[in-house]
Amino acid sequence: METELIRAISNRLVIEFDYQGHHRIGEPHLLGDDAGQLAIELYQTAGTSRRGGLPQWRVTRLDEIENLVVTANQFTPRSDFNSNRSRWRSIKAKV
């Protein structure tokens, strides 16, 4: 899964997956270490979430992602994306 996400981020490809019972569709901007857990930061554009409102930035742990699909649909990185947040211990890939 990590390799697929790095490919999606590098090529700016939209992803789809299931997370905690919700189907999410979004634009992955970063893969990194978040408090000892590998996670992605993505801009969720469609699907559902227990936290409501879309579109919205989300951080999602890889160990809770199921049924990942990397689509052929490309996206343009969001101008409000900030990879310099203190939450990331290390970054494996970013747009």
pLDDT tens for each residue of the chain, 95 residues long: 999 999 999 999 999 999 999 999 999 999 999 989 999 999 999 998 887 789 999 999 999 999 999 999 999 999 999 877 768 999 999 99
Q: What is the pTM of this model?
A: 0.93
- Cβ contacts of residue 52 below 8 Å, gap of 6+? none
Hey, what are 43's tokens? 């801009």
User: What does the DSSP 8-state code read for residue 80?
Assistant: T
